[in-house]
Structure 1
């Protein structure tokens, strides 16, 4: 197989893998309810992957999947979800990511995420919300801990 054919084969293989993942998204009832209720927008697979890479470059994660809070300038533990309203402008766009790598990256306003937080966090065990400017991260850990971090 020559180089050009290998390239075409690999492109077709990647497209097929992405189509399979998209079909999984469509059949994921919890994800679909989250999207419907929050009015969130699923980002294109490649765009979502770029955002995840950007986030992983700005925010470090531990080997067990938690945020590495030692590199975050300011962090606050949240006892009540409504406390987020005092810390963050809820009209800002946020990206939603889950600990399951095949789940999409979702984009929506923080106020809609907060309103339907049970739908958002039920999609997978751990959930992270990252502001579109990558300066704020909110971690919803599966044991009930909520932490808000600010880079600047």
Structure 2
């Protein structure tokens, strides 16, 4: 079983794997909303509302602080052939290790709520809000 398949099992029924075309569209949307540097990391210096997190559970406090209630997210992985997955933010809390194992860098992207959580391969977790 691949790491992606393990992730899908861990997410349970509350997920949808999207097509390659949709995956590309979500990556394009992410890049249009958040500037990406050449090595694939978000250019955090260009984001005024950014927060370093110790754990994913902290994100809810920051979203509440900014009046953001949207929890529908898209999972995207850098340097992976895995397709994007639609799910919700609270669904990934209990299986975040399975989620981040799929690719070297993981983006939890909410285009409608205009936020992203980047799990950088060196262990940093950063929330950015537009």
RMSD of Structure 2 on Structure 1 (CA):
1.8
| Structure 2 residue ranges without an equivalent (≥5) | none
**TM-score, scaled to structure 1:** 0.74
Offset at 1:102? 2.2
- Aligned match for 1:145, one of 121, 124, 130: 124
From the CA coordinates, give the structure whose radius of gyration is larger: 1
Structure number with the bigger relative contact order (C-alpha 8 A, sep ≥ 6) is 2
CA change 1:73–1:126 in 2 (3 A) is same
Question: Structure 1 stretches (4+) deviating beyond 4 angstroms?
Answer: none
| Structure 1 residue ranges without an equivalent (≥5) | 1-27
Q: Which has the higher strand share?
A: 2
Q: Which has the higher helix share?
A: 1
Matches within 5 A, 1:1-150: 29-39=2-12, 40-88=15-63, 92-133=71-112, 135-150=114-129
**TM-score, scaled to structure 2:** 0.86
